A and B are shown apart, each in its own frame.
Chain A
Amino acid sequence: MTDPAALLQIERLAVRFGTARGPVQAVEDVSLEVLAGECVAVVGESGSGKTQLLLACLGLLAQNGRASGSVRFEGSELLGASEAALNRVRGTGIGLLSQDPASSLTPHLRIETQLVELLLDRGLASTAEARQLAIAGLREVEIAEPEARLRQYPHELSGGMRQRVALAMALMGRPRLLLADEPTTALDVSVQARILELLARVRDRGLALLIITHDLGVVAGLADRVAVMYAGRIVEHAPVEQLFAAPSHPYTAALLAAVPRLHGGDASGRLAGIEGDPPRPGETPPGCAFAPRCKRATTRCTQTRPELRTLPGASDAVACHWPLSAEVELA
């Protein structure tokens, strides 16, 4: 698994929370790497642990959270690193774009102040240079009249524009890796499309991306590889074309089928939902966590947990006793 070219390397990461009702395992045994210039997406529904995974990477877990395993960025360990060491990486090594543009910008500060903050704080630019860089940064995310925008406050901008400013802010420190946590969830579809385009352009310029999302549609035009998470574990990990064309895990297949489409299918027919709800963190059943909702589940599924393994002759890894693509081979 160790690839020298890996920018971010997550190995056997586990995140545990101490709660009043005992420890809750949010992430378990997750290994993932992001190569330079690559875009990896982590797809999962609420409670799958995808956000905790991202927070653990940046050392931003809540007070009662503990991460174990290893997260290395450009070879240096982030888990357990000092706050000072983390701060050297945050911003200039790893940028963060979060879900809610309304809360990721400080309401009482002008856009300019927030954009240049990092540069001035690290002594990366003089005040005049920082201003020019901020203007260039806004232009990069296609904000018209950047000079005028700099003087505005977040509430004077629309939601989509705020998210673009947040993106510009995440890119100000010229990070090598951008972590994006549900970057489009809080936005309208048309604004979503805009942000996705910008992210694609950022990726094409060679910045590595790790995107966390629940929406497979978001992944489509952007990611090279996709890791699907369910109940704190990766259940399938595959190149994006393969994942969409021939998903191996029943959960991935069901998730793909549940996405409402514009074309094809029977518009007057029912959507293919997945029966039941995802398990709540801490209430994960023994065996395969998806078994209670899986049509293919057998007693083996409810008793022993399938390990993530690479299928013979395939490029993807899947944690399922009865993977779908294996069946195709047999048939």
Chain B
Amino acid sequence: MAETVLGLAAPRRAGLWSDAWSRLRRSRAAWIAALVLAALVLASLVGPSLSAYAVDQVDWTQAALASPPSLDTGHWFGTDANGRDLFVRVWIGTRVSLLVAVLATIVSVVIGVGWGATAGYHGGRLDDWMMRFVDVLYALPYMFFVIILTVVFGRSLVLIFLAIGAVGWLTMARIVRGQSLALRQREFVEAAIALGLPAHTIIFRHVVPNVLGTVIVYATLTVPQVILFESFLSFLGLGVQEPLTSLGRLVAEGALEMETSPWLLLIPSAVLGTILLCLNFLGDGLRDALDPRERR
């Protein structure tokens, strides 16, 4: 990236990103986590088409209502109380949950980092105003805000992630602003000012890359939050609507039938748990990889 920004071909090793990439490859935990995540994404994309059943298709055969996992019936993960195939529903749910989580997180990272870095770098009165605005949004009840949004604009997937992202950036902005404020005092930022670089260049070339580590760790923590939040919205009837489903919703439904059909809870929980665990490992690995100072 730095190479294209500077537009020069000085003799040098590859830039920050390819360095980070090679360091990530060397971290075993992060690399395995990335592979598992990739496998889950792939499964969520192709899984549903491997089964003979569709997501909203009810198997009317008597034995198929709440039947346990079995290879013979073709319901590899079993069926729910309505006779719908859990294998298909789990992968569809994974797809929806990941999509909502990733998009909402991207929205919150982009707004949060931009807002926080600008406020922190400039400081003074601009900082005051920008952060008071954040405080005001904080003061609005989060849930209430999302509910109003969904009620006013109707229920759609796009709206859900916009709504969640739009409120999720507040904490990100605060974190980034605090770090930027500290970076502002560092001599390399002053040296950049002495080079006469414009503020936006300094923010995006010197401030943001140095807060990325924190941002990534926080972002990987945001993803599970969003997944859980989405399931809560679904529970209220404001999230993903039938016949579509999400992991959070499947877990919530499964929990109701835990005693009679435990697989309805165990299988979606296992997938959700794996995703969250992998994201944490990947986040840790990315933070280390993006920091050129190798940890002792």
Contact = CB atoms under 8 A, between A and B. Distances in A.
Are chains A and B touching directly in their complex (CB below 8 angstroms)?
yes
Interface of A: 17, 19-21, 62, 64
8 contacts: A17-B296, A19-B296, A20-B294, A20-B295, A20-B296, A21-B294, A62-B296, A64-B296
A195 B295 CA distance: 36
Interface in B135-176: none
Interface in B189-236: none
Interface of A is mostly: loop
Given A17-B296, A19-B296, A20-B296, 5 more contacts: A20-B294, A20-B295, A21-B294, A62-B296, A64-B296
B26 to A, nearest CB: 9
B235 to A, nearest CB: 44
Nearest to A19: B296
Nearest to B26: A20
Contacts of A62: 296
Nearest to A18: B296
Interface residues on B, range: under 10
Contacts of A20: 294-296
A66 to B, nearest CB: 14
Contacts of B295: 20
A19 to B, nearest CB: 5
A273 B296 CA distance: 32
Contacts of A19: 296
A17 B294 CA distance: 15
A281 B222 CA distance: 40
Contacts of A21: 294
A20 B296 CA distance: 6
Contacts of B296: 17, 19-20, 62, 64
Contacts of A17: 296
A314 to B, nearest CB: 41
A95 to B, nearest CB: 29
Nearest to A63: B296
Nearest to A24: B296
A62 B294 CA distance: 16
Nearest to B296: A19
Nearest to A64: B296
A236 to B, nearest CB: 30
Interface in B268-296: 294-296
A19 B294 CA distance: 10
3 nearest A-B residue pairs (beta carbon): A19-B296, A20-B294, A64-B296
Nearest to A62: B296
A278 B275 CA distance: 48
A243 to B, nearest CB: 34
A64 B296 CA distance: 8
A6 B166 CA distance: 69
A20 to B, nearest CB: 6
B287 to A, nearest CB: 15
Interface string B110-149: 0000000000000000000000000000000000000000
Contacts of A64: 296
B82 to A, nearest CB: 53
Nearest to B295: A20
A149 to B, nearest CB: 29
